[in-house]
Structure 1
């Protein structure tokens, strides 16, 4: 009886030990699983965070590259616009210079054609018949002729005279001048000597041109024509009447 009880006690104790051992093993496995799951979850969170950070950095890098490319495009656009501005400025300056030159040329033509009044500094040349020479049988030798006048007119035009008049009558580009004894006819109007030729223009240039050695002034003196040249601070010539 006692042996049987001892056997039953041993069986119960062995069974109880097995239960605890199994429970212990289950707890260990459960703890391992929980720890593994926690670490795995932590690793996933870390990996997810790292991946998110990488994506953000990659996005920032792409945005930076995009901004750099856009900045480069803007710099190129700015350079193109600046070049256009310089081109426009050059064209404007050129056109403005051409415009001013055209105005000057047009005004010069108006002066030459007598379509605008001529006012300014200039010179006055007086041509008179030479003194009578009783030993000369030809009175034409000391009379002013149209050839003398033409010499003066041509030299004045070459020297840049803007407007010319004879005895107050302003000359046109196609004025007709002829000599008839002691008088000359200008576009049908007759004028006696002395003949006063006025010219508007650069005084120094006009006088220097006439007084060149062997030039018009010397030629007129050699041909017995009395010549005087004066500077005029103000020479005025009205517009030519085309009627």
Structure 2
């Protein structure tokens, strides 16, 4: 018994020294319940902020039936203009025109009398096809995987095409939806397209027209707001 009491006393003295007089099982780490309460408090605070912002938006637009009707009318008008502006996908009968650089013959040679510029598709060739298709009343046109709208500007950079900030290598695929016979007639009558076809025969450039009953065009997805344009006159005309 004296030995057991001595050991117990020694253990108590050691524990007191280690804890420095405090609670040895105490921890400063936050408890899980405290973390949950803090997170819930944050959610409640953000929810209240959201409700205030929603109320501010409603009050800004009047929050009245008249304001709601006006917004609905604007939305309907926006949807109509989106289709006309080429923002929506389109599917229907159309024509697919493909332009390609000249290819080497079986012996790996180009025509001897050809200059380097004679063997590649140029910007003017692509624009000539686009203009002919538009003049024939095309409902929508797509180059490669991009829909063409009023602000689209195909540009040639070397032997590649720059469109919408992206570069493409030939072959260049131009898809159009509309009256197929009218578009084919317009391509036949276009002087620059006729000149390209002559180069295609002479130097081996690629040119094909493939009609289709279900040509698909993607919708234009990039922002359409102009960053640097400004009205040309006092009335914006």
The within-5 A match list for 1:156-195 is 156-195=133-172
Q: Is the aligned partner of 1:218 residue 2:198? A: no
Q: TM-score under structure 2 normalisation?
A: 0.52
The within-5 A match list for 1:15-164 is 110-132=82-104, 133-136=110-113, 138-164=115-141
Does structure 2 retain, via aligned residues, the 8 Å contact 1:121–1:235? yes
Q: Which has the higher helix share?
A: 1
Note closer, same or farther for the CA distance 1:110–1:203 as it changes in structure 2 (3 Å cut).
farther
Partner of residue 45, structure 1: none
* Unpaired segments ≥5 residues, structure 1: 1-102
How far apart are residue 141 of structure 1 and its match? 1.1
How far apart are residue 134 of structure 1 and its match? 5.0
CA distance in 2, matches of 1:232, 1:209: 17
Does structure 1 retain, via aligned residues, the 8 Å contact 2:141–2:148? yes
Structure index of larger Rg: 1
Paired residue for 2:186, among 192, 209, 215? 209
Partner of residue 240, structure 1: 220
Aligned residues: CA RMSD: 2.2
How far apart are residue 203 of structure 1 and its match? 0.8
Note closer, same or farther for the CA distance 1:153–1:112 as it changes in structure 2 (3 Å cut).
farther
Q: TM-score under structure 1 normalisation?
A: 0.51
How far apart are residue 242 of structure 1 and its match? 2.6
Does structure 2 retain, via aligned residues, the 8 Å contact 1:145–1:179? yes
CA distance in 2, matches of 1:222, 1:137: 13
Does structure 2 retain, via aligned residues, the 8 Å contact 1:164–1:197? yes
Partner of residue 60, structure 2: none
* Unpaired segments ≥5 residues, structure 2: 1-75, 105-109, 224-237
How far apart are residue 216 of structure 1 and its match? 4.5
Does structure 1 retain, via aligned residues, the 8 Å contact 2:96–2:175? yes
How far apart are residue 208 of structure 1 and its match? 1.4
Note closer, same or farther for the CA distance 1:115–1:208 as it changes in structure 2 (3 Å cut).
same
Note closer, same or farther for the CA distance 1:229–1:180 as it changes in structure 2 (3 Å cut).
same
Q: Deviations over 1:207-235 (max 9, x none)?
A: 111123x7454221223332110101111
How far apart are residue 162 of structure 1 and its match? 0.8
